[in-house]
Amino acid sequence: MKLVISSKSLLSALQRASGAVAVNSKLLPISEYYLLEVTGTKLLVYATNTEISIQTEASIVEAEGDFAVALPSVIITEALKSMPDHPISLNVDENTSKVEMTSEFGKYELTGQPGGDFPNIAELPEEDGIDFPAEFFEMGFRQTQVAALSDEMRKAMSGVSLKVEDGKLVFAATDGHRLIKNVFYTESGGLEKQVLLPRKSLMGALRPLLKEGEDINIRFSKENIFFATSQGLLVCRLVDQTFPNYESVIPQDNPNKLYLDRLDFINTLKRISLFSNQTTYQVIMDLKPQSLTISSRDIDFQRSGDEQFPCTYEGEDMTVSFNGRFLIEMLSVLESEQVRVDLLDNKRATLIFPEEKVEGQDITMLIMPVVT
């Protein structure tokens, strides 16, 4: 069995699938391999770590016979990276899974695994899903996931909720101290679904399959979510947990309004946080009409800092504390030059909104004050 293919074409396909390759998998060593499957004049490349699976396609020059073989991901990828783009030939012995790769530089031999030993990948459901702009999905997930809990043992709060309903696609995440709800308006075709996505691995694996200006087709099964793009198919196992009901904790009318320059506020928070307690990162905001003083103190190390910050504030005098690190992380994912902070008092939930909105998007950020 023989395959002739451009080294660049093969490397590109492997890199698109690389987000699903397992690392140091003792339970399933073959998940550290790529599956190459030749059918007619088509080469399909697969990778899976059992949580995420990717299928993509590569253009080939010539093929003799249909075959499937699994190749060790690190060796084949690193070998191709060091080659300029030129045709290479893969000769496969299906009985022994030995592969001979020939290029203009020389000949290389390695032993793979039988293609039949590679784990099965879930097939794309026939039911229609929704089409959604790729850049909006990346934006929604990236902006929202910063509020997810980093403790992977508490799975219900360490993932990102995705809900499809009434012409909306809604991302949400919370760690109990902050919440981000990110709404995008889109045609949903009557589909109603709510699932929980893994925070850590999904976006890194999906990003190489996204193409700016194109839509992704999103479909669901009982256990998986499917993302089909022009670059391939990604299958992700859903988190089998129920996301908390968050709507009731979002206040509807906080009367005190604070208007800030986002980037200047982030830089001030970074400076002031350096002098805060490095466990709580507590920063204190002293608010008066048209006046904001930001300060922090670390009694143990006898350090402190305070700054006057230019702002527009419409509300009652108030002193309120927040986790400075949380504020920085949340504000950093926005793109608006100005933000509005809606406060009620120094104990109950505070809301943050971008003043310049992206068309078709409504994002709400909630953070709880630090109460001492």
Residue 50 — pLDDT band, cuts 50, 70, 90? Answer: confident
2-117 CATH, one of 3.40.50.300, 3.30.930.10, 3.10.150.10, 1.10.10.10: 3.10.150.10
pLDDT at 237: 96
Architecture of domain 130-247: Roll (3.10)
Please write the tens of the pLDDT for every residue from 280-337: 999 999 999 888 999 999 998 999 999 999 999 999 999 999 999 999 999 999 999 9
pLDDT attached to residue 143 = 97
25-51-81 Cα angle (round to 5): 60
Report the alpha-carbon distance of residue 278 to residue 109 in Å, rounded: 54
Lowest mean pLDDT among 183-192, 242-251, 255-264: 183-192
3-state SS record for the chain: CEEEEEHHHHHHHHHHHHHHCCCCCCCCHHHHEEEEEEECCEEEEEEECCCEEEEEEECCCEEECCEEEEEEHHHHHHHHHCCCCCEEEEEEECCCCEEEEECCCCEEEEECEEHHHCCCCCCCCCCCCEEEEHHHHHHHHHHHHCCCCCCCCCHHHHEEEEEEECCEEEEEEECCCEEEEEEEECCCCCCCEEEEEECCCHHHHHHHHCCCCCEEEEEECCCEEEEEECCEEEEEECCCCCCCCCHHHCCCCCCEEEEEEHHHHHHHHHHHHCCCCCCCCEEEEEEECCEEEEEEEECCCCEEEEEEECCEEECCCEEEEEEHHHHHHHHHCCCCCEEEEEECCCCCCEEEEECCCCCCEEEEEEECCCCC
Give the model's pLDDT for residue 194: 94
Task: Look over the chain and give the mean of its residue pLDDT values, rounded to a whole number.
Answer: 93
pLDDT attached to residue 128: 77
Determine contact, residues 73/21, Cβ cutoff 8 Å. Answer: yes
pLDDT attached to residue 100: 94
* CB-based burial, 54-83: b 16+ in 10 Å, e otherwise: bbbebebeebeeebbbbbbbeebbebbeee
Query: Whole-angstrom Cα distance, residue 47 to residue 60?
Result: 19
State phi, psi for 122 to the nearest 5 degrees. Answer: -60, 140
The 10s digit of each residue's pLDDT in 1-30 is 889 999 999 999 999 999 999 988 888 999
pLDDT for the residue numbered 273: 96
CATH code: domain 250-367 is 3.10.150.10
Summarize pLDDT for 55-74 with one digit per residue, the tens. 999 988 888 888 999 999 99
Question: The tokens of 295 are what?
Answer: 């300060």
| Interatomic CA distance for residues 242 and 223, integer angstroms | 13
CB proximity list for 348: less than 8 A, separation 6 or greater: 251, 368, 369
pLDDT value at position 1?
80
Whether 47 and 16 have beta carbons less than 8 Å apart is answered as: no
> pLDDT-derived band of residue 232, with 50, 70 and 90 as boundaries?
very high
For the chain, the domains span 2-117, 130-247, 250-367
Return all residues near 179 (Cβ < 8 A) that are at least 6 apart. Answer: 147, 172, 173, 246, 249, 250, 364, 365, 366
Q: pLDDT tens digits, residue range 157-180? A: 899 999 998 889 999 999 999 999
Q: Would the pLDDT of 202 be above 90? A: yes
User: Mean pLDDT lowest for which of 185-189, 309-313, 337-341?
Assistant: 185-189
pLDDT at position 127 is 83
- The answer, yes or no, to whether residue 200 has pLDDT greater than 90, is no
pLDDT in tens, 233-244: 999 999 999 999
Q: Percent of the chain having pLDDT more than 70?
A: 100
In this prediction, residues 84-101 reach a mean pLDDT of: 91
Instruction: Give the pLDDT of residue 235.
Output: 97
Residue 103 confidence (pLDDT) above 90:
no
Whether the Cβ atoms of residue 220 and residue 125 lie closer than 8 Å to each other: yes
Confidence of residue 105 (pLDDT cuts 50, 70, 90): confident
Handedness of CA 65, 70, 75, 78 (dihedral sign): positive
